[in-house]
């Protein structure tokens, strides 16, 4: 039986908040619009997969409005802590909210941009995106999606024909405009801005919007505390999934954490080769504030800033109570995420926590590759080549039941990784020879890994009898 196509269902929910939350802007007029990547898998989910390439470029390179949704782009207003220093001079500086629509599951989805031109918040920036930055975001989002991390998805990448000057990479360099599909662009920093201006009415309005439109809950008398509790749960889950993926975001500022707990805005990201708590992604993170092992702490700190921002409209006690649940929720989340990546069914919180505490020190102490370990141990059995240091891990894994098997062809090959050397190799092929095949081949390989991890082939076989 063939699934019915998803209908296109435009929305304009953000307009209900009013002009105090955004600025109406105009997209840059680019010299060229060369389509380099269109995510038809994501487009199917929002009813946009039937667009021709010409229509796609018109909407996502020239930003002709989609029918029934926002009539013009909106640069969203927000503040945020950047490396723990509050900055009231930020906002959408090289992107905007282009459209809203409902996904296949009924969720409100945003199409937002990166590199679409200057806005009132660009300051001294040119509002542009390097093509390399766009390539890196494709690779980050595809890999994280495959590894089960809640993430925005790169919807479109169009090369724009401008030569950009940058002080942190060889210049001039090629330019692009990117569109991402995500479940909201409302950030913790969006709330911080309203608290900064002591605008209680706007705080209540945004809290109600987030509960109703992003979580599907009708706001009540405890709206602020309820929202914080939901955000703490989602962000704790995000932190746990980051760790299981071996992912380092690099810039976990409060303006880079949205209130749906969905990872987005990929700059200096990396995947750590080994379980190294001190591994950092950003060359400018000299103190290791956002190092691999400190990400749960950083995300919890950001959730605390949301609590502070909500304090004008809520008593302290319920906010503190919600924040205090972060640690336990994170522990459960990292256990669930590691078991999922191992292809095993969770047992109980104590056993799952003990398994994580058994695996982590051996991974760290042996400097075993993270991707190698999860590939070899998928299904719960370690190969004999894993020697004596792994005996306790082997015994712990044996107590678990596989949720799927290794029948997918992916398991007969080698683990799919996304380390910095391969990112640079993929970019070099594009930069030096305009060869896009390594990128497209990598995306295909990543998606195959995602199918194998999810057990999709096995599930499909069972469904078909």
Active site residue ranges: 255
Residues 325 and 274 sit within 8 Å (Cβ to Cβ): no
C-alpha to C-alpha distance for 151 and 142, rounded to whole angstroms: 9
**Could you give the C-alpha distances from 405 to 139, 260, 457, in angstroms and in order?**
27, 32, 10
Return the structure tokens found at 136. 């890196």
Which residue intervals of 324-348 are DSSP H helices?
326-341
Residue 164 exposed, middle or buried by CB count within 10 Å (0-12, 13-18, 19+): buried
C-alpha to C-alpha distance for 377 and 370, rounded to whole angstroms: 11
**Could you give the C-alpha distances from 416 to 137, 240, 422, in angstroms and in order?**
17, 20, 11
Residue 209 exposed, middle or buried by CB count within 10 Å (0-12, 13-18, 19+): buried
Residues 298 and 289 sit within 8 Å (Cβ to Cβ): yes
Instruction: Measure the N-to-C terminal CA separation of the chain; round to a whole number of Å.
Output: 13
**Could you give the C-alpha distances from 188 to 99, 217, 261, 280, in angstroms and in order?**
21, 19, 10, 23
C-alpha to C-alpha distance for 463 and 453, rounded to whole angstroms: 18
**How many angstroms from the chain centroid is the CA of residue 20?**
27
C-alpha to C-alpha distance for 122 and 130, rounded to whole angstroms: 16
Residues β-bridged to residue 178: 114, 157
CA dihedral of 387, 390, 395, 400, whole degrees rounded to 10: -120
**Could you give the C-alpha distances from 167 to 55, 172, 432, in angstroms and in order?**
35, 10, 20
Residues 172 and 165 sit within 8 Å (Cβ to Cβ): yes
């Amino acid at each position: 039986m063939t699934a019915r196509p998803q209908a296109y269902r435009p929305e304009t929910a953000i307009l209900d908040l009013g002009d105090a939350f955004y600025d109406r802007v105009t997209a840059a007029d680019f010299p060229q619009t060369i389509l380099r990547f269109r995510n038809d898998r994501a487009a199917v989910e929002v009813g946009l997969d039937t667009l021709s390439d010409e229509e796609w470029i018109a909407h996502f390179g020239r930003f002709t409005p989609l029918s029934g949704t926002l009539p013009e782009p909106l640069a969203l207003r927000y503040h945020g802590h950047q490396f723990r220093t509050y900055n009231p001079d930020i906002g959408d500086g090289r992107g905007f909210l282009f459209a809203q629509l409902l996904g296949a599951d009924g969720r409100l989805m945003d199409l937002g941009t990166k590199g679409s031109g200057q806005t009132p918040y660009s300051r001294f920036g040119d509002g542009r995106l390097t093509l390399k930055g766009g390539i890196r975001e494709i690779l980050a989002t595809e890999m994280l999606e495959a590894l089960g991390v809640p993430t925005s998805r790169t919807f479109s990448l169009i090369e724009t024909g401008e030569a950009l000057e940058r002080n942190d990479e060889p210049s001039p360099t090629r330019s692009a405009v990117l569109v991402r599909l995500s479940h909201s662009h409302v950030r913790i920093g969006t709330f911080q801005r309203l608290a900064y201006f002591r605008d209680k009415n706007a705080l209540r309005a945004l809290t109600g919007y987030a509960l109703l439109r992003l979580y599907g809950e009708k706001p009540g008398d405890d709206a602020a505390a309820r929202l914080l509790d939901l955000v703490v749960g989602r962000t704790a889950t995000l932190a746990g999934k980051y760790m299981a993926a071996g992912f380092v975001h690099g810039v976990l500022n409060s303006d880079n954490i949205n209130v749906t707990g969905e990872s987005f805005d990929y700059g200096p990201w990396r995947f750590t080769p080994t379980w190294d708590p001190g591994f950092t992604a950003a060359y400018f993170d000299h103190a290791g504030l956002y190092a691999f092992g400190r990400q749960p702490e950083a995300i919890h700190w950001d959730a605390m800033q949301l609590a502070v921002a909500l304090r004008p409209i809520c008593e302290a006690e319920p906010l503190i109570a919600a924040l205090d649940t972060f640690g336990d929720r994170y522990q459960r989340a990292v256990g669930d995420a590691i078991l999922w990546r191992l292809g095993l069914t969770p047992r109980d919180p104590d056993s799952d926590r003990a398994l994580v505490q058994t695996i982590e020190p051996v991974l760290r102490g042996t400097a075993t590759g993270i991707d190698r370990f999860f590939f070899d141990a998928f299904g719960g059995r370690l190969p004999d080549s894993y020697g004596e240091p792994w005996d306790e891990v082997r015994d712990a894994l044996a107590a678990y039941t596989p949720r799927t098997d290794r029948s997918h062809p992916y398991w007969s090959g080698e683990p799919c990784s996304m380390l910095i050397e391969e990112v640079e190799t993929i970019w070099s092929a594009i930069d030096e020879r305009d060869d896009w095949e390594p990128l497209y081949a990598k995306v295909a390989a990543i998606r195959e890994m995602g199918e194998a991890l999810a057990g999709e082939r096995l599930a499909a076989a069972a469904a078909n009898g």
